[in-house]
Amino acid sequence: NSDTALYHAKERGRNNLELFAPVMTRQVSDRLLLEGRLREALKRGEFELYYQPQYDFAHNRLTDCEALIRWNSPEGMVMPDTFIPLAEETGLIVPIGAWVLQEACRQGEAWNRVSVEPLSVAVNVSAVQFRPALVSEVQAALDETGFDACLLVLEVTESVLMSDIEGSVQLLQELRELGVRVALDDFGTGYASLAYLKRFVLDKLKIDRAFIMGIPDDKDDVAITSSIIDIARNLNIMTVAEGVETEAHCAFLRKAGCNLAQGYYFDKPLPAEEFMRRLQ
Ligand code: C2E
Ligand code: MG
Ligand code: MG
Ligand code: MG
């Protein structure tokens, strides 16, 4: 329980992984400390992007990937779910997000210089970053790295778009005018209705892992997943299945006409060097 956790945190001192307990249960002093550590981490270059391959069902080829941030803290690797929420609350996600964009574009450009087939790179964009200034941040990352805009995918969630519908429609349009593509992440878990698939001009839908998990035994998950794939196909939107973990998931998705698969069945998120070996 939280008393015990706090006791252990005090007992062991502040310089250990207790600092990375969930944001909700963290003490104010711990939050301030973690905020300071995040700020330092950016300056010291402790963030790293891992890349998880996405495979195209039609050609059985690695065509896309998603960049996922990791923090190599002095106490070990810290996962994004642990620090992104606090980075969002404190606004630190803005400089961290700008770094992610730059780094993903730099790496994407380097890979595409040596790769025969084009490789797209997807970047997660938080609600705090999704504002008019994002357009110039994306433009700057493209300009400074020379990365081809059409190979950059921005992943946003339903709740990001729904919080200001008119603003989102406008911003999505400006982003797509830069030539970048937009994916709706974790689709099916938010509260966007199907009508918004028409309002928001999207290139890709990522079907949330929660639905893929139930395939093929859960009849509801099967129905929901195949319906999403059908609707997306009719709207000319590509589908990406998240959390593909088994042969059965794969067989079903291929048959249902899903375009891309991402998950542990193929690869975990990989450090850049390992990803490069996969690419080759
Ligand atoms: P997400 O964008 O939905 O990313 C997918 C998450 O599912 C990743 O977790 C990935 O490692 C995990 N995953 C992939 N395949 C499988 C699988 O087969 N099974 C299971 N159980 N999990 C799988 P990760 O890397 O811990 O990232 C968690 C979340 O943190 C991401 O969810 C995204 O919302 C956020 N995030 C990651 N990197 C960034 C970033 O650079 N900026 C922002 N704003 N958010 C980020
Ligand atoms: Mg994502
Ligand atoms: Mg997702
Ligand atoms: Mg997610």
Helices (H), the chain: 2-12, 28-44, 80-90, 93-114, 134-145, 158-162, 165-177, 195-199, 209-213, 219-234, 247-256, 272-279
Of 46, 68, 185, the one to substitute when testing ligand 1's pocket (max ligand atoms within 8 A of C-beta) is 68
What is the per-residue pLDDT for 31?
84
What's the sign of the alpha-carbon dihedral 12, 14, 16, 22? positive
What is the per-residue pLDDT for 151?
98
C-alpha 226 – ligand 3 centre gap (Å): 18
C-alpha 217 – ligand 2 centre gap (Å): 26
Percent of the chain with pLDDT over 90: 81
pLDDT higher than 80, residue 14 = no
Which of 88, 81, 52 has its CA nearest to residue 68?
52
Check if 264 has its Cβ closer than 6 Å to any atom of ligand 1. Answer: yes
User: How far is the C-alpha of 148 from the C-alpha of 109, rounded, in Å?
Assistant: 7
Classified as helix, coil or strand, 202 is coil
Half-sphere exposure of 251 (CA within 13 A, CB side): 5
**100 in Cβ contact with 60 (< 8 Å):** no
Q: What DSSP element (H or E) covers 123? A: strand 120-124
Instruction: Give pLDDT tens digits for 160-218.
Output: 999 899 999 999 999 999 999 999 999 988 877 788 888 999 999 999 999 999 999 99
What is the per-residue pLDDT for 25?
62
Average per-residue pLDDT for the chain: 91
Query: Torsion over CA of 176, 79, 189 and 234, rounded to 10 degrees?
Result: 40
Residue nearest to atom 5 of ligand 1 (CA): 242
pLDDT higher than 60, residue 3 = no
What is the per-residue pLDDT for 17?
53
Residue nearest to atom 10 of ligand 1 (CA): 269
Check if 68 has its Cβ closer than 6 Å to any atom of ligand 1. Answer: yes
Tokens of 122: 């997807």
Query: At CA 185, angle to CA 92 and CA 95, rounded to 5?
Result: 15
User: How far is the C-alpha of 165 from the C-alpha of 154, rounded, in Å?
Assistant: 17
What is the per-residue pLDDT for 109?
98
User: How far is the C-alpha of 223 from the C-alpha of 246, rounded, in Å?
Assistant: 18
Instruction: Give pLDDT tens digits for 65-99.
Output: 999 999 999 989 999 999 999 999 999 999 999 99
Residue nearest to atom 8 of ligand 1 (CA): 68
Q: Cα 224 to chain center, whole Å?
A: 22
Respond yes or no on whether ipTM tops 0.95: yes
The model carries a pTM of 0.93
Residue nearest to atom 46 of ligand 1 (CA): 124
What's the sign of the alpha-carbon dihedral 167, 173, 175, 177? negative
Check if 7 has its Cβ closer than 6 Å to any atom of ligand 1. Answer: no
> What DSSP state is assigned to residue 116?
S
Least confident of 2-6, 109-113, 264-268: 2-6
Pairing between β-strand 181-187 and β-strand 152-157 as defined by DSSP bridges? parallel
| DSSP secondary structure letters along 71-114 | EEETTEEE-HHHHHHHHHHHTTHHHHHHHHHHHHHHHHHHHHHH
User: How far is the C-alpha of 153 from the C-alpha of 213, rounded, in Å?
Assistant: 25
Check if 157 has its Cβ closer than 6 Å to any atom of ligand 1. Answer: no
C-alpha 106 – ligand 3 centre gap (Å): 23
Check if 185 has its Cβ closer than 6 Å to any atom of ligand 1. Answer: yes
User: How far is the C-alpha of 237 from the C-alpha of 60, rounded, in Å?
Assistant: 19
Pairing between β-strand 61-73 and β-strand 47-56 as defined by DSSP bridges? antiparallel
Check if 35 has its Cβ closer than 6 Å to any atom of ligand 1. Answer: no
What is the per-residue pLDDT for 9?
42
What is the per-residue pLDDT for 194?
83
pLDDT higher than 90, residue 2 = no
For range 226-234, the mean pLDDT: 95
